Structure 1
């Protein structure tokens, strides 16, 4: 058993190393990363695996990961063989690649990536835009896995934006747009309307489109895009809706109502709209043959790590990867609603470039202290330096003590040591921090072994 465990860990390290080698010295450049020419070429070399399965493409500023997980859970419960691609992963790469809501084994990913690696080398030699990117390689691995597994449907989460995201080579049956807000403004645009245009870029001709946008100007952008592409549009609160009575969720679709629903393993009212969008998309994919049991059990069974996740009690520890003003507003509302009386120890790290001044006001209510840390660099993005973060915190909440603990695991331990049993420890600011912090409760090595079962 020890030898097998070491073998798996070595395989995983090799896969991770192969992917990281694709990250250039300048980790992310809009001019380099936001192109479809390389991924299109890569797909051609691999035999266009993305043409071998139907897909549902899920984009949006907030909620796209949760909606994708709900969708996979509902359709798996309905009896479909599902593939699920998520980004980013929290702890291990395997999280991004799921079959029937179970993490793909490292052995399988390494086997398939050998095929992808040779194709990457060929594209790097022949394409005028050079070597495929880190994310393009991940997308190719997902599409090859789903082809090999002969999935009935793949649920694909957009990486960044939509129009020029590597996943947008898909011609999906259904496109889902969960929400739109100000995030990645240096790449996608400085207004929600500009960002909505980028998000709506995943809409293709003759699709079903499910849209959860709330601002009228952004809804109109999606409606115009659907009209031009001759796609059928369902808008939340116009064509479908949800209500909540005494904690029970009701989802109203054209011609069908799903009642007595609950998100048993999740907290946060913001998940209700994600659940409604996922149910609408699943209903459309099944051509109206979606059972009440599939929706009820699919939503109840969905587990979404790093999104308002309760890791322990005494003290309560909440792990949430909120990383933009809209997400932090929603997370803060949920924390206040559920744990408003508790003093908080807040452990935080942000990606460099985030609008910290717009996010921090949602963190300062009833706080005992802040612990500022820096997530480990695992992919394209680097953390906001804790020293600079401390200056921002001191200007907004000068009376609240701030402590810098550079290592995220040490930051977790420091936070737990400073919290009383009736306090709340809130770990937030980045999905990358969520992944680092989660190691304290769920070591990656254990997750890798479980994926092999």
Structure 2
């Protein structure tokens, strides 16, 4: 099978839907020789921030000289982004070869009467197989959905990390923060250390209780100890104290105070790896360089300065709150034009209720997905939001390309265009903007 055939095969498995549970992926990995058991895994769960936290951890280890695999989801522009080694995407040829091997294993489990694995189970098995074959020193693995029943949760990691937990995927994970925290805590294994992003006591209590049951040491970051020396829409310089170490004048190129808090999780992970002897003594200069060079596309990412254009995958209330805080902190006094598109199974009203009060114009579009919310449906929801101070202009442009062209051409130099919502939309927008501004 070649690359195009491999992608078609993966896309066609979407018909098997999404299924929480580990039996099928365990059967698949068993036939593949359980490649996940050959890996030193850092397993990362959470509602928001897990992608950038994974990116920090990955970059830190790479800059310390280790061979590091990174598995994240979803991708923005190219499927190969999901499986990387040392910041390089898996090649087309290697992806095709790995998928071919996984397909043969799938044929065997189907012959044994088991259900066909889902798309995410297949991609996860492919990542574990590829990292094992490449003999990486570490694999940083991002949980797809939840934790306890997520396909990635067939591993015994060297350390687990849990980022900020909020209300998302409630139809699968529960209706309260405590219920969702319980599902995320499913990645906690016996006697394996856990790093937790400091957050609500409700969440911390759930995680703490499970760590006690499983005799796992728990390290909660100290967000109150972060000192913000300088910050703007392009990034920040901070002092962070974690695990008995003071990191002074760390330069972060990711804007938003939440990114400094995500960094605290990553720093704790790296220090625990050092303390446990999993890595050698940390080179501080390389550590600072790895943080400075960390990027995470599609999250508060500035594409161009004229007009200032920002893309952000804020698709749940917590993510929207983080974006609004950044707009109010860094873009005060600017006219904000929001280009907004969501999936119909998300909490559209809550996200819009957070973002709309800080913008002057909303251009509603539709992500390229069968689950996309209709522009008229979103328009009706936004119209219910009380915004008494100014008149809100609402425009419907269903086609993403047309929405991007309109937003960029009608924005003046002193206005800011913010694209927010589904990552299905953000990925397409990023491609279009890169072409428009010759960033390829």
Task: Tell me, in whole angstroms, the C-alpha distance in 2 between the residues paired with 1:303 and 1:53.
Answer: 25
CA contact (8 A) 1:180 1:213 kept: no
Q: 1:329 aligns with which of 321, 331, 335?
A: 321
Match of 2:336 in 1: 344
Q: d(CA) in 1 for partners of 2:406 and 2:375?
A: 15
- Give the distance between the partners of 1:389 and 1:213, measured in 2 at CA: 34
Alignment equivalent of 1:220, drawn from 205, 212, 216: 205
Which residue number in structure 1 is paired with residue 233 of structure 2? none
Establish whether residue 369 from structure 1 lines up as the match of residue 378 from structure 2.
no
Contact 2:221–2:268 at 8 Å: present in 1 too? no
Q: Indicate the larger mover: 240-249 or 341-350.
A: 240-249
Q: Is the CA contact (8 Å cut-off) linking 1:177 and 1:213 kept in structure 2? A: no
Structure 1 regions of 5+ residues with no counterpart? 1-9
Q: 1:357 and 2:346 equivalent?
A: no
1:393 aligns with 2:382: yes
1:15-414 matches, within 5 Å, as 15-24=6-15, 27-28=17-18, 33-128=19-114, 130-237=115-222, 241-246=225-230, 247-264=236-253, 266-287=254-275, 289-377=281-369, 382-396=371-385, 399-414=391-406
Give the drift of 1:371. 1.1
Deviation, structure 1 residue 305: 0.3
> After superposition, what is the alpha-carbon deviation per residue over 1:280-308, rounded to whole angstroms, capped at 9, x for unaligned?
11121233722212321111001100000
1:426 to 2:418 alignment: yes
Separation (CA, whole Å) in 2 of partners of 1:272 and 1:81 = 25
Judge which range, 433-442 or 48-57, deviates more. Answer: 433-442
Q: How many residues align?
A: 427
Residue 396 of structure 1: how far off its partner (Å): 1.3
**Structure-2 separation of matches of 1:215 and 1:194:** 13
| 2:14–2:118 CA contact under 8 A, matched in 1 | yes
Runs of at least 4 residues off by over 6 Å: none
Cα contact 2:345–2:371 (8 A) shared by 1:
no
Q: Is the 8 A contact 2:70 2:84 kept in 1?
A: yes
Stretch of structure 1 that moved more, 356-365 or 164-173: 356-365
- 1:358 is displaced (CA, Å) by 1.3
1:204 deviates by: 0.2
Secondary structure of the structure 2 residue equivalent to 1:259: strand
CA distance in 2, matches of 1:59, 1:431: 18
1:391: how far off? 0.6
> Which deviations, in whole Å up to 9, do the C-alpha atoms of 1:43-96 show, x marking residues without a partner?
001011101110000000110001000110011001111000001111111111
How far apart are the structure 2 equivalents of 1:351 and 1:59?
A: 22
TM score, norm. by length of structure 2: 0.93
Contact 1:409 1:439 (8 Å CA) reproduced: no
DSSP-derived class of the 1:166 partner: coil
Q: Secondary structure at the match of 2:432?
A: coil
Q: Tell me the CA shift for residue 397 of structure 1.
A: 5.4
Mean Cα displacement is larger for which, 272-281 or 245-254? 245-254
Q: Distance in 2 between matches of 1:402 and 1:162?
A: 38
Q: In the alignment, what sits opposite 1:5? A: none
- 8 Å contact from structure 1 (residues 279, 295) kept in 2: no
Task: Tell me if structure 1 keeps the 8 A contact 2:131–2:139.
Answer: yes
2:379 and 2:332 map into 1 onto residues whose CA distance is 25
CA separation of 1:326/1:366 partners in 2, compared to 1, >3 Å: closer, same or farther?
closer
Q: Is the 8 A contact 2:6 2:100 kept in 1?
A: no
Pairwise CA distance, 1:408: 1.3
- Tell which has more relative contact order, 1 or 2 (C-alpha 8 A, sep 6+): 1
| Partner secondary structure for residue 395 of structure 2 | strand
SS at match of 1:262: strand
Structure 1 length normalisation: TM-score?
0.90
Cα displacement (A) at 1:218: 1.2
Question: 1:241 deviation in Å?
Answer: 4.7
Could you say what the CA RMSD is over the residues aligned between the two structures, in angstroms?
A: 2.1
Say if 1:198 and 1:241 are closer, same or farther in 2 by CA, change over 3 A. farther
> Which has the higher mean CA deviation after the structures are superposed, 82-91 or 402-411?
402-411
Q: CA deviation at 1:339?
A: 1.2
**Whole-angstrom distance in 2 between the partners of 1:261 and 1:12:** 41
